[in-house]
Amino acid sequence: MDLSKALEVATATDSGMVRTHNEDSITVDAASGFVVLADGMGGYNAGEVASGIATAMLGTSLKQVLDGAEPGRIEPESSETLAVKILREQIAGANASIYQAAKSQPQYAGMGTTLVVGLFYDNYLSVAHIGDSRLYRLRQDEFRQITRDHSLLQEQIDSGMITEEMARLSQNKNLVTRALGIDPEVEPEIHTYEVEAGDVYLLCSDGLSDMVEDDEIHLTVSSLQANVQLASQQLVQMANDNGGRDNVSVILVRVLRNFPASMDWISRLSSWFRLAKV
């Protein structure tokens, strides 16, 4: 199903004001309905390599497997949607590739990357993430972070040890507890959400969320939602104006209209029953 009429996608990425390399990497495909953002880590150029492998592999493989597929179909053996299964499998593939590359090439040893992937289908969005790259959603006036970082700081917040206000003062911002390509296997966190026409989704690397307050991001996304390309550039610029200490990458997805599954009423009904059972 071609979603390019339903989704308007804009991207911006920049190495920031301090770093010489851009270790972030993004790939988007509005027609297939997916967006991918990765923030690499590792010595020398290894971070770029890791995030580059992640986006290149996922960009190609997702396009391939989604072609003609019904991502909303419920898989009988696991009672999860095909979309979730696809995400999990393709992410596992990318993980294995990065891990292998890191093993075989000494200069890439230990490289890894964060990842956030959004897959749109049938008025749903399945989000997979690993690490501290985020997805936010603007729905009417409400702007909220949908993913929860896999980071030391987030664990401290979750355990009640520090508050979110205190977390801003923390010096442990840069520690993630999960990354793609570090281990032979990785568990992405995957959730599925309903999508409404008018929603704007923001995927970003920590170069944005660490440099620009959520309120400011909210203001920017909501005032400039009519022009997501401008909004994405504006966000990068704000991160850089605030010091730009890290690479900063942004993907904005504006939902122009509904994109329900195109099925006949019988299969729709039966799928509804199956969903209801789950």
Q: Segment 204-223, which members bind other proteins (CB under 8 A)?
A: 206, 210, 216, 219-220, 223
Residue 91, C-beta contacts closer than 8 angstroms, at least 6 positions apart = 58, 115, 117, 128, 130, 180, 186, 188
Ranges within 240-259 binding other proteins (CB under 8 A): 240-241, 244-246
Kindly tell me which residue out of 65, 96, 101, 230 binds other proteins, with binding defined by CB under 8 A. Answer: 230
Q: Is the dihedral of CA 76, 77, 81, 87 positive or negative?
A: negative
Take residue 208 and report the two structure tokens written for it.
């944005």
- The residue range among 35-43, 52-60, 248-256, 257-265 that interacts with other proteins, by the rule CB under 8 A, is 35-43
Rule CB under 8 A: is residue 197 a binding residue for other proteins? no
Q: What's the min distance (Å) between Cβ of 79 and other proteins?
A: 8
Kindly tell me which residue out of 77, 171, 185, 264 binds other proteins, with binding defined by CB under 8 A. Answer: 171
Q: What's the min distance (Å) between Cβ of 147 and other proteins?
A: 8
Q: Please name which of 124, 262, 87, 115 lies closest in space to residue 199, comparing C-alpha atoms.
A: 124
Amino acid at site 228: V
Rule CB under 8 A: is residue 142 a binding residue for other proteins? no
Cα-Cα-Cα-Cα dihedral of 77, 82, 83, 85, to 10°? 40
Q: What's the min distance (Å) between Cβ of 209 and other proteins?
A: 12
Rule CB under 8 A: is residue 157 a binding residue for other proteins? yes
Take residue 64 and report the two structure tokens written for it.
């391939």
Kindly tell me which residue out of 190, 203, 239, 252 binds other proteins, with binding defined by CB under 8 A. Answer: 190
Residue 261, C-beta contacts closer than 8 angstroms, at least 6 positions apart = 1, 70, 72, 121, 122, 123, 268, 271
Contact by Cβ (8 Å): 246, 206: yes
The C-alpha atoms of residue 144 and residue 159 are separated, in whole angstroms, by 21
- The residue range among 5-13, 29-37, 141-149, 258-266 that interacts with other proteins, by the rule CB under 8 A, is 141-149
CB nearer other proteins, residue 31 or residue 88: 88
Kindly tell me which residue out of 104, 194, 262, 264 binds other proteins, with binding defined by CB under 8 A. Answer: 194
